[in-house]
Structure formats: C-alpha cells, structure tokens
Structure 1
Amino acid sequence: MKKLVLILTVTMTLFLSKQATAQETIVDVAVGNEDFSTLVAALKAADLVGALQADGPFTVFAPTNDAFAKIDSKTLNSLLEVKNQKALANILTYHVISGKLTATDVVAALKKGNGMVELKALNGQVLTVMQKDGKIWLKDTNGNYSEIAATDVMASNGVIHVINSVVMPK
C-alpha cells in the first residue's frame, strides 16, 4: 500500500509539474519535487548542478529518494563525500543522455529495435532500454534493472523520466 501511495504521489506531482515547469530547467524541476531531494543533494555533491542547468537538451532518468534508499546507507553517504566526487559524477552522468527522448521516442525506438535499444550515457557507457512484461525498463552494464515509473516530465532543457532504482555503471 505504501508503495502504491508513493507511486500515485510521484505521478500526480509530476503530472501537475508538467504543466507548470516548461520554463524551468531539469534541476529546477528536481529541486521543486521533494521525492528528488537525494538526487539534488547528489548533484550538488558531484558539482553537476550547473551542467544540468545548461541548454541541453538532456534526457534524465531520475531516481527517486526510494531508489537511492535501496543503496546501502554507508555506501551512499560515502559517495556524497568530497573525496568520492568523481565516482558520484560517473554514477549520475550514467543517468543522463544527450538529446531529448520523450516516451514516444523511446517506444518508437523499442519497436524499431525489437523491444530493446541501447543509449549512450554522458559518462560514455551504455544503458539498455527494454520492454518486458508490458513495462519499460533500464538495464545497466551490471545486468541490474530499473523500472521507468513515470515519463515525460518536461523542462526547458530536456525531459525527465522517473526510475525506481539507481542504475550503476561499471
């Protein structure tokens, strides 16, 4: 039940924000949504706020606070330390694709790719998008999956798709 309430809250918040945030950057949208407070803290720690406020366009697969909570708290706290800024930036840029890919674009690419398409993330590594069990998933280079829970949260410099797990690069 708690998960359902969270999904509905995130979906409604993002749906309402779609209408009001067309002039806000990806960072502004994330800052304005309490479900992304961990993501915002991580962007600040990795010194990536300025990059995601740039013109873009970008496609961001944004993990919620619950997605970050799946990471061991000791590991997450360690990643937020200054000495691990480069490792954190590598993880976060693995969630960003150059260009604006809406849900319609992703579905079209999946049809063309027989249910699977590879995307090159800003960190240079590949994310695989796949359709499985009627849902759209990201598969990272380690073979872990993250469900795309909400799509097409528009910003002035791109689009956000909400995911339920943090994807990890090699």
Structure 2
Amino acid sequence: MEALTGQLIDYIRSQNIGPAAVFGYSMGGYIALQAAIQAPDTISRILTLGTKFDWTPDVAAKEARTLNADFLREKAPAFVNQLAEFHGPSAWEPLLPATVGLMEALGQRPLLTPETVTAVDIPVRLMVGDRDHMVSVEETLGIFRSLQNGSMVVLPETKHPIEKVNKAVLIWEIRSFMTL
C-alpha cells in the first residue's frame, strides 16, 4: 500500500498536476486518502466508491480466500477473462499473491482508521453501494464521521463490482462533486 501511495504522489508531482482531484474505486480510494495524509499538497479533493476501511486479520483472510486462481477459474470465469484482458493472459495470475499480501498487511496494520483520517482536511465524499457485499455502509459511515470535510452517499441497488454500478449515477456523482 505504501508503494502504491508513493506512486500516486510521484505521478502527481512528476506531471505537475497537483493538487489533483482524485476518484478512487475500491482500493484506489484507500490509496488516495493515504496520499492526502502523506502529501497534502498533492490532493485537492477525493471521491471514493466501494473503499474497504475495516481491515483486520480475519477480514483480510476472508478476502484473500477469494483470490485463488483455481477458485476464480471455477467460480468466476468472466472475472478471470476481465483480469486476463486488463493485465494480460499470463500476467493476471501472479498479481493474485501480491494482492493477498497487500490485504494481509492491511489486516495487520490498517493505515486508514477513524483516528488517522482526521488529518485529511480537504473535501472527501465516500460512496458505497447499498448492496455491496465487500464494503459495508457501517464501515464507510465510521470513517465519514471522522473526516473534517466529508460527505457520504449510499448508492441504491449498487453492488461492489464497478461494472455493476449505474453509470449515469456514477458520472453525475463524479461531475457534481469534482466541479464544486
């Protein structure tokens, strides 16, 4: 997580685009919030969707069980096809253990907690789907309550996979928040 956060910060600085408004889906929202804590000069506002905040060893182990290549081939072949298309036919599978390692590290030492996010003083809007089975409304609410300048949106009839999100609603949320 630290490396990914550093990459975001370095990219914003190297492209001279900071402070940048950032939309982060799932772990991307986690990275954006951590970047705002580490390098406040790089981020102007953050909009997240489906970002998991409740990381414990048990939660990490539960999520990691779903990131087994054989399990995915059997239970989610369409997802495997997406991974292969996005990352390459031979590159997606080696990413699974790295992702598991990232989750386990967060389970042992979550970076974003109600205490740490109080350092974020820029506008932040947390979005979560009401039918998201990975991220709960309650865990999102817990972080929202600790933000200095936060807002929260619960998207109706919305699951975690971004391809299942109503695109018109998502575009409206992004445009309305990022152009305030």
Is this a same-fold pair by TM over 0.5?
no
Larger Rg: 2
Report the TM-score range of the alignment, normalised by the length of the smaller protein.
under 0.3
Structure number with higher strand proportion: 1
Query: Whose helix proportion is higher, 1 or 2?
Result: 2
Which structure has more relative contact order (CA 8 Å, sep 6+)? It is 1
Q: TM-score, normalised by structure 2?
A: 0.22
